[in-house]
Amino acid sequence: MARILIVDDEKCNAGILSLVVTQLGHEPIEVYSGQQAIDSFVDHQPDLILLDYMMPGINGLMTLQQIRQLPGGKRPAALLITASQLRSVEEEAKSVGVVGFLRKPLNLNSLKTLIEEHCGEEEFKASVIT
């Protein structure tokens, strides 16, 4: 069982992601801001991070950058969830260590596939699901 950090400022979206994670037999940890994600990461050391891109304050990519700079923590895979169709978002995301993209509206089967693909692996390949 993997511990999966879910970061989304929309509680309804986070709840849906938590249900999927639970159905797959993993432990969801819901937070609703970038700062909460950073704090929660230190406490829980998740195996995977599901990050919403557009959030007030610290967006998903800035959140991941700050998590990656924490001393002594592990470096779990991160999947970015975005409504953006901009290629520049994908390029920036890859540069900070995002290994997969899910575009809104979410395809739950694609979400399940990416979670299963990335939980517990040491090395990850970038995946794009549209």
Which 8-state DSSP code applies to residue 10? S
Is residue 50 predicted with pLDDT exceeding 70? Answer: yes
CATH domain 3-129 topology: Rossmann fold (3.40.50)
Question: Which pLDDT value is given to residue 57?
Answer: 92
Neighbour count for residue 10 (Cβ, 10 Å) = 12
- The average confidence (pLDDT) of the chain is 88
Cα–Cα distance measured from residue 55 to residue 2, given in angstroms and rounded to the nearest whole number? 25
Q: What is the pLDDT of residue 81?
A: 94
